[in-house]
Amino acid sequence: MFVFNIVLFVVFFAILLLRIVLYPKAIVQSVTSDFTECTMMAAPVIAWFTITAQIGLTVSQASWGAHTWFLVAYVFWWIGTFLTIVIAVAVIVIISKYDMVNIEGITPALVIPFVATATDAVAGGLIVTYSHYVNARLAVPVIIVSYMLTGIGFFAALMVYAVYLARLLNAGLPPAAQSPSLILLVGPLGQSSAALQGLGSAASSFFKTYDKGTFLMQSAGSVCSAVGVLLGLMLAGMAVFFMAFGAYVILEGAIKRQHKYSLMWWSTIFPIATVNTAFIEFSITMDSPAFRGLSAAFLIFLLIDYFINWAFTLRDIFQGKLLNGSRSDSPASDRVKRQ
């Protein structure tokens, strides 16, 4: 699965680069006129961090991997961190500068850049905790920056939640075709919960070795670990709340037979996986059979969801419903309007 993930990333990133080279004006126009495409700029970085984390978790621990591959993951993490911050700022600048959406047109996609910053923090905690031979000198900067990234992810998401609640109050629930995107609201909370726990565990391990100043000490590391679990439980609770809300809206549309398959259904996977990551962390910090069972159940559900999405996606590709857009140096939204 890790190798398959790399293959998918390389293929689609190459397609993206070709699009940038062949249709540069279309890219600029799409990003500055299409709200969803603007927020989706963060998606490749999220995929980058799934690979980065796996390099630390798996490759550096392999018999042929060792410390060299931790350094690869370490460099990848800093590169991704720079891109994540740039993209998060760029998205806010673009949607503020260009009149592309009003309060009634806001969608949950606005949380994606901030899911990226929280994912960045989770990856940071994972590579310093589980990679082969990590020393405090390398780990502590990652921990500190990851806490800051968690702050961006969580507090920026709070602002998005407030705006989206106003949209729900003004315009009601989204159409059935857009209802799967509601699960995106889960992402920042689940990922922040996992990040706080993972970083707390890392702080507990490395602060005592670093031992400088009044904060980077063993006592502070223990506090970070305990507070991370406490705050993680609160955030996970809110994530489950949003998950239940999204599930209700999706099931209501299903009962009324209002759903048709679209690529938007892929958005139901990653946000729920963030909650599962938090549950796995809870199972470790609490030695909890309940959270271990929940994480196993969620994993089974996610695998089923994953393969169902692949089946429908491949069906629509073979039927010509996907990947058959006309070639044009203009935004996809304009092409759709003309068609």
Whether residue 118 has pLDDT greater than 80 = yes
Mean pLDDT along residues 210-239: 92
Contact 192, 154 (CB under 8 A): yes
Please report, rounded to a whole number, the percentage of residues in the chain having pLDDT higher than 70. 95
- Is residue 252 over pLDDT 50? yes
Q: Which residues contact 189 (CB under 8 A, 6 or more apart)?
A: 154, 157, 235, 236, 238, 239, 242, 274, 275
Give DSSP secondary structure letters for 309-331: HHHHHHHHHHTTSSS-PPP-SS-
Q: Which residue has the higher pLDDT, 91 or 333?
A: 91
What does the pLDDT read at residue 101?
A: 80
User: pLDDT tens digits for 281-296?
Assistant: 999 999 999 999 999 9
| Amino acid at position 266, single letter | W
Mean pLDDT of the chain: 90
- The per-residue pLDDT for 45 is 95
Checking if the pLDDT of 328 tops 50, the result is no
pLDDT confidence band for 213 (50 / 70 / 90): confident
One DSSP character per residue, 23-81 reads: -HHHHHHHHHH-HHHHHGGGHHHHHHHHHHHHIIIIITTSTTTSHHHHHHHHHHHHHHH
pLDDT reading at 34 higher than 70: yes
Q: What is the mean pLDDT of residues 121-149?
A: 93
Q: Under CATH, to which class is 34-319 assigned?
A: mainly alpha
Confidence at 228, pLDDT banded by 50, 70, 90: very high
- pLDDT tens digit sequence for 162-204: 999 999 998 888 888 889 999 999 999 999 999 999 999 999 9
Select from 205, 202, 189, 35 the least CA-distant residue to 109: 35
The string of pLDDT tens digits covering residues 4-19 is 999 999 999 999 999 9
Q: Name the one residue in this structure whose structure tokens are 């905790």.
A: 129
Contact 108, 185 (CB under 8 A): yes
